A and B are shown apart, each in its own frame.
Chain A
Amino acid sequence: MRKKRVIGTKVEPVKEPKVVQTSAAPTPPPPPTPPVVSTASPGPESHSATSLTCPICEETMLTLMQLNRHIDDVHGDGKVKGKTRASSEKPHTKPRPTDEMVTRRHWKHPGPGQTCHYPDCKRKLGARNGSRHCRHCGNIFCHGHSRYRMKLSRDAHHQPKGGIWCWVCKTCYTGREGYNDTTGTERDLTQEFKKKRQAKIDIQELSVNKLENRLRRLAEESIENESSGPWWKPKAAVTASVPWQEDSTQPNCPECQVKFTFLIRPHHCRVCGKVVCGQTSTQCSLPVGVNILINSLDMKEEFSDTIPTDCEPIRICMTCKNTVFGRRNFQRDVNSDPSELLKLYNTMTHLTTSIENMMPRFQKELEETIASKKMAGMHPKDILAASKLRKRLLDTFSQLDSAARRVGALEGLSPTEERIQQQIYTAAVSFLQEKMLPLKTLPKVLGSEATAPEPAKPRPPANYKALQQQLVVMEEQRFMVENMMLEAKQRRKYDELGPLEMSVKDLDKEIEILRKRLGDEAFV
């Protein structure tokens, strides 16, 4: 098309194709003159204004004075001087910058008996420990905390390029930009990769489509043959879609290199027409039933219920099978139902996230409760909210715990899954141990509070509730300590067992007492 246009407009063929391309674009580029005209039109003054730009940074200026001042201020000691120095080759013309040029207006005045300003440095300033202003923050420091140097601009800001070396304090030195930066360089190549991949994918899709269409046609034909023609001549119809390779050209199977013999016959892949062997052991090619094909090619709608069960299967070679069905199978696997292990894992993730969401809220409530406890006035409502939250948290924890147990109890997994199972279990256990601890501080607060407000008439239900709570906490702790004992046994740390056993005994005693006091209400 481009060629035609070139001839049509009689543009010289030497001309660069790029130019031709742009001229072929629907809207021709505007002529370069109009903008100039338009800027010139408002008036001669504004025109002169546009021409006043700084030659170094190209910032526009209104007046010549401003430009001069700008050059002095902004590029004063940087590039311009560098240029003159390079051209004149007289380095001594430029005075060496000293830190006296940096402003000292922000310096603090030393008071009598002043100590170093660095946190936790109690050294007295003076002849012995030294006394020096940090040129950056203006505070006064001992020698040890002001022996750092940094480049500062004339108004005492950090300026790595073109600044003047000055003494600064440790805080300013370590606090400057990039000092504590531990993130390394990274380079994202995703876009480049995707671009390269797309080229390949496009071609791939074409060939997949081609093969898939052939396969569809084959399936259709096979079904038609079955329903209309006699069974002994399907071959002619099926071969029509692709030319078959001559048997004699291939003495060996291209897939498994086996030599064709009287017993190992050459077969033809109906999709690509190539010769392959039909051994069941290597599976170089397989006859695939039409109904399977129709299923996996999503052609069900076309042949809603008329699929004959015994029509001629279609032989497909390994390569074609992978090309056509590889991606489908992969997607099917990815979208298939997850295993029991993964389902449990998903519930566990939900539980952990909800715990993590509840935790800060709960902690806030807790702090408020503690704060209000210190203030004399006590709102039972707050306690109620906190203990409600606590109950919900505990419920979630126990759900998580049981899910973890179920994960641990799963059987009949593959070796890899077993490894995952173990990891999930350990992770859940450590999560439980870590997150449940702060929860324990609550009964202490709530417990004393719940009984404190109403000591006058100890109503049984309130008392019961507090006791029940205590009992629950005790049993929880007993359970945890038992777990720890088990672990200690496994790790053969017998020296830790002693205290643990004793604490279990203590707990049992306490639990017993509580149970007695609660009576029947203990099991609510």
Chain B
Amino acid sequence: MNVTETGKEYITTMVGDKSGKLKVLLLDGETTPIVSMCTTQSSLLQNEVYLIDRIDNPNREKQRHLACIVFIRPSNDSIAKLCEELRNPRYASYELYFSNVVKKSQLERLAESDDYEVVKKVQESFADFLAVNKDLFNFSLTRNSLSIYSDGGWNPECLNRCTESLQAVLLGLKLRPQIRYDANSNMARKLAEELAYGIKQEENLFNFKTPRDSAPVLLILDRKNDPLTPLLTPWSYQAMVHEFIGIDNNRVDLRNTPEIRDELKEIVLSQNDDPFFADNMYHNFGDLGQSIKDYVSHYQSKTQSNMDIESIADMKRFVEEYPEFRRLSGNVSKHVTLVGELSRIVEKGQHLDVSELEQTLVCSDSHNDSLKQIQQIIAAPSISMENKVRLVALYGLRYEQKDNNSLKLLCEMLGQYEGQDAVQAAQAVINFACLAQRQEALFEEGFIAKAKGNIMGLKGIQNVYTQHRPLLEKTLTNLVKNKLREATHPYVRGAGRGPVSNNGVYEDDVQEVVVFIVGGVTYEEARLIAEINSQSSVRIVLGGTSIVNSGEFIQECLDQNHRGLLRGADPETRLRQLI
């Protein structure tokens, strides 16, 4: 249950065969990021891969002494390119690897193109996912400004892609799961059913040798049931970087940072080959500051010890440790720059103030105070439009049921200060995830909640900025305890459940879970999963159509809204009712 390792293992089997021949690796648009996230240039070099190219690059030179390894997604486009390549081979021999199931017809086309018998091996290696952390993957479906929504449901192309890739994830992890989904989401249900059908079609592939103690569970959720997590400002390292700067396939673009050095314009943040990041990716901003301070002083002591070289023995030690030291120095400057940039952005955008208000809105019940503060913030010129939109959206979601709420007033104010676009964005979010769309309570209301709040007040809140816990936590706790109700998370039709004991309780433990969130997953949820994984015996892997931050989430809501696809009434009328 480790997606990065699985991906790495796949790549290793592809390039690992040492023949003493120079190798070229041919990729397509889909597999390039997959390979780049799983492996490094130097490990490819060790395996004699000296050239990496794209199959859709028509200007490749003939190198008929090189052995070629092709790794592509079997899309029609890539297969056509590969056929062309085989008909007029540029390299001496070919090994073909596909990231997903190859259709019979595609295989036939390839076989017919191979006139010179250059193909030595054909294999399906199911690495059709982007492994971000060891327990987090995504499909980056929204990468090419593609929307997964279309006409009240899935964009068919995306649904297809999603089903295939999710199937590849299951094959990679060797799981044949029971599939459960959010009952109120058509998209989750559709994906679950397609996937169940797909698994049935590939019965042979899903026939794994090592039996499991209990059936794994695949839980397909819909983003609309928890709009809060992507809207709130996150404060753990990885999540912050994505929220404030943006992570794209583990790469961070720092070109817009003032006074940036050339080599730091694009940096890689990967759990695998960056020990500092692996240790601190889930730490919050405060702890992070401390760790980075320690890291720098560690580096300084190293430099100091390198400065006073007095004997030959010192020198020898120095030469031996130097490569390690150089790596360390690169890493230190990377993280110092990144954390510096983060704190600059946080300070400039007054994100701490905004975040405090967000948490109060979501976690406690103080309507009038919150309203006043939101109004102040909307009027403040130094705060970005996005933050204001988020606050208004949160207010709308939080006090949706309150009679005579002031959403209309806030919207008017937002329009006055930031323009109609902002109002539209806020309304899109509220439309996307309003009470009618959700199936579970996000906010605790009534007597018990108040009592709880009082107790919390007595104990004192640990951290004002991270009070909110994602809905996913509750769902998973219930799932592991076998208490997740079938009314909210039913099984795919036809696929039954394991043994039931006498008193009607399921006996089997849940030990392996794959969670997939349609509409995007957040790094904050990834942090939660890592926490659960380290603290209990259950193993969870989290995935999503993409990894969203608040900006991307709002954009997605807008995408969906523009196509007028909410169930029931059209958004305009719904909104009028709302306000």
A interface residues with partner B (beta carbon < 8 Å): 91-92, 96, 147-151, 160-161, 163, 165, 173, 177-178, 181-190, 192-194, 196-197, 200-201, 204, 326-327, 330-331, 333-334, 336, 338-339, 342, 345-346, 349, 353, 414-417, 419-420, 423-424, 426-427, 430, 433-434, 437, 440, 444, 477, 480-481, 484, 488, 491-493, 495-496, 498-499, 502-503, 506-507, 510
Is B205 touching A196 in the complex (CB atoms < 8 A)?
no
Q: How far is the CB of A419 from chain B (nearest CB, A)?
A: 6
Residue of A nearest to B321 (CB): A437
Is B45 touching A201 in the complex (CB atoms < 8 A)?
no
Is B319 touching A186 in the complex (CB atoms < 8 A)?
no
25 contacts between A and B (CB under 8 A): A96-B501, A178-B174, A178-B212, A181-B210, A182-B6, A186-B10, A187-B124, A189-B107, A189-B122, A189-B124, A190-B122, A190-B123, A200-B111, A327-B116, A334-B64, A334-B92, A345-B22, A424-B50, A430-B42, A430-B45, A437-B319, A437-B320, A444-B316, A491-B263, A499-B303
CA gap between A204 and B502 in the complex, in Å = 68
Is A510 touching B119 in the complex (CB atoms < 8 A)?
no
B interface residues with partner A (beta carbon < 8 Å): 2, 5-6, 8-10, 13, 20, 22, 42, 45-46, 50-51, 60-65, 89, 92, 102, 107-108, 110-112, 114-127, 171-174, 205, 208, 210-214, 261, 263, 303, 306-307, 309, 312, 315-316, 318-320, 322-323, 325-326, 329, 501-502, 507-509, 511, 536-537
CA gap between A349 and B50 in the complex, in Å = 13
Measured between beta carbons, the chain B residues less than 8 angstroms from A481 are 319
Is B116 touching A197 in the complex (CB atoms < 8 A)?
no
Is B20 touching A440 in the complex (CB atoms < 8 A)?
no
CA gap between A430 and B107 in the complex, in Å = 40
CA gap between A498 and B320 in the complex, in Å = 17
Q: How far is the CB of A518 from chain B (nearest CB, A)?
A: 17
Interface centre among A186, A419, A503 (most CB of B within 10 A): A186
Q: How far is the CB of B104 from chain A (nearest CB, A)?
A: 9
Interface centre among A185, A326, A502 (most CB of B within 10 A): A185
Is B116 touching A185 in the complex (CB atoms < 8 A)?
no
CA gap between A133 and B312 in the complex, in Å = 56
Measured between beta carbons, the chain B residues less than 8 angstroms from A201 are 115, 117
CA gap between A334 and B51 in the complex, in Å = 18
Q: How far is the CB of A346 from chain B (nearest CB, A)?
A: 7
Interface centre among A187, A333, A424, A427 (most CB of B within 10 A): A187
Is B322 touching A484 in the complex (CB atoms < 8 A)?
yes
CA gap between A331 and B89 in the complex, in Å = 11
Is B102 touching A182 in the complex (CB atoms < 8 A)?
no
Residue of A nearest to B64 (CB): A333
Contact of B89 among A330, A349, A426, A492 (CB under 8 A): A330
Besides A416-B63, A423-B50, 17 other A-B contacts (C-beta < 8 A): A151-B213, A163-B213, A181-B174, A181-B210, A184-B10, A184-B171, A187-B124, A331-B116, A333-B64, A334-B64, A339-B65, A342-B22, A345-B22, A416-B60, A433-B323, A492-B263, A506-B312
Which secondary structure characterizes the binding site on chain B? mixed
Is A506 touching B211 in the complex (CB atoms < 8 A)?
no
Is B318 touching A160 in the complex (CB atoms < 8 A)?
no
CA gap between A495 and B205 in the complex, in Å = 56
Given contacts A165-B507, A178-B210, A423-B51, contact A197 B9 (CB under 8 A): no
Is A184 touching B125 in the complex (CB atoms < 8 A)?
yes
Is A440 touching B63 in the complex (CB atoms < 8 A)?
no
Measured between beta carbons, the chain B residues less than 8 angstroms from A492 are 261, 263
The 8 closest A-B pairs by CB, nearest first: A178-B210, A196-B111, A184-B172, A182-B5, A160-B211, A333-B64, A197-B111, A185-B171
Interface centre among B64, B307, B329 (most CB of A within 10 A): B64
Measured between beta carbons, the chain A residues less than 8 angstroms from B501 are 96
CA gap between A506 and B310 in the complex, in Å = 8
Measured between beta carbons, the chain B residues less than 8 angstroms from A181 are 174, 210
Is A419 touching B326 in the complex (CB atoms < 8 A)?
no
Is B115 touching A327 in the complex (CB atoms < 8 A)?
yes
Measured between beta carbons, the chain A residues less than 8 angstroms from B211 are 160-161
Contact of A96 among B2, B9, B502 (CB under 8 A): B502
Is B312 touching A184 in the complex (CB atoms < 8 A)?
no
Is A185 touching B117 in the complex (CB atoms < 8 A)?
no
Is A197 touching B114 in the complex (CB atoms < 8 A)?
yes
Is B126 touching A184 in the complex (CB atoms < 8 A)?
yes
CA gap between A396 and B523 in the complex, in Å = 50
Measured between beta carbons, the chain A residues less than 8 angstroms from B9 are 182-184
Measured between beta carbons, the chain B residues less than 8 angstroms from A488 are 326
Is A147 touching B537 in the complex (CB atoms < 8 A)?
yes
Interface centre among B51, B111, B124, B320 (most CB of A within 10 A): B111
Is A510 touching B312 in the complex (CB atoms < 8 A)?
yes
CA gap between A510 and B312 in the complex, in Å = 9
CA gap between A331 and B92 in the complex, in Å = 9
CA gap between A126 and B10 in the complex, in Å = 46
CA gap between A514 and B247 in the complex, in Å = 55
Contact of A499 among B123, B261, B306, B320 (CB under 8 A): B306
CA gap between A440 and B114 in the complex, in Å = 52
Residue of B nearest to A431 (CB): B46
Residue of A nearest to B539 (CB): A179
Measured between beta carbons, the chain B residues less than 8 angstroms from A197 are 111-112, 114, 117, 119
Q: How far is the CB of A482 from chain B (nearest CB, A)?
A: 12
CA gap between A349 and B210 in the complex, in Å = 39
Measured between beta carbons, the chain B residues less than 8 angstroms from A345 are 22
Is B123 touching A184 in the complex (CB atoms < 8 A)?
no
Q: How far is the CB of B239 from chain A (nearest CB, A)?
A: 26
CA gap between A488 and B306 in the complex, in Å = 15
Measured between beta carbons, the chain B residues less than 8 angstroms from A192 are 107, 122
Interface centre among B5, B13, B50, B114 (most CB of A within 10 A): B50
Is A182 touching B307 in the complex (CB atoms < 8 A)?
no
Q: How far is the CB of A156 from chain B (nearest CB, A)?
A: 15
CA gap between A187 and B64 in the complex, in Å = 28
CA gap between A188 and B111 in the complex, in Å = 15
Q: How far is the CB of A257 from chain B (nearest CB, A)?
A: 20
Q: How far is the CB of A206 from chain B (nearest CB, A)?
A: 13
Is B127 touching A184 in the complex (CB atoms < 8 A)?
yes
Is A193 touching B45 in the complex (CB atoms < 8 A)?
no
Is B117 touching A186 in the complex (CB atoms < 8 A)?
no
Is A440 touching B316 in the complex (CB atoms < 8 A)?
yes
Residue of B nearest to A152 (CB): B213
Residue of A nearest to B61 (CB): A416
Q: How far is the CB of A335 from chain B (nearest CB, A)?
A: 9
Is A326 touching B116 in the complex (CB atoms < 8 A)?
yes
CA gap between A331 and B118 in the complex, in Å = 10
Given contacts A177-B210, A477-B315, contact A187 B205 (CB under 8 A): yes
Measured between beta carbons, the chain B residues less than 8 angstroms from A491 are 263
Q: How far is the CB of A350 from chain B (nearest CB, A)?
A: 8
Is A186 touching B124 in the complex (CB atoms < 8 A)?
yes
Given contacts A420-B50, A427-B45, A506-B309, contact A200 B112 (CB under 8 A): yes
Interface centre among A178, A339, A495 (most CB of B within 10 A): A178
Q: How far is the CB of A212 from chain B (nearest CB, A)?
A: 15
Measured between beta carbons, the chain A residues less than 8 angstroms from B46 are 427
Interface centre among A326, A416, A437 (most CB of B within 10 A): A416
Residue of B nearest to A481 (CB): B319
Q: How far is the CB of B310 from chain A (nearest CB, A)?
A: 8
Is B13 touching A186 in the complex (CB atoms < 8 A)?
yes
CA gap between A506 and B212 in the complex, in Å = 63
Measured between beta carbons, the chain B residues less than 8 angstroms from A440 are 316, 319-320
Measured between beta carbons, the chain B residues less than 8 angstroms from A414 are 61
Measured between beta carbons, the chain B residues less than 8 angstroms from A327 are 115-116
Measured between beta carbons, the chain A residues less than 8 angstroms from B6 are 182-184
Measured between beta carbons, the chain A residues less than 8 angstroms from B121 are 188, 190
Q: How far is the CB of B208 from chain A (nearest CB, A)?
A: 8
Is B125 touching A186 in the complex (CB atoms < 8 A)?
yes
Q: How far is the CB of A379 from chain B (nearest CB, A)?
A: 26
Q: How far is the CB of B107 from chain A (nearest CB, A)?
A: 6
Measured between beta carbons, the chain B residues less than 8 angstroms from A200 are 111-112, 114-115
Is A173 touching B111 in the complex (CB atoms < 8 A)?
no
CA gap between A495 and B112 in the complex, in Å = 60
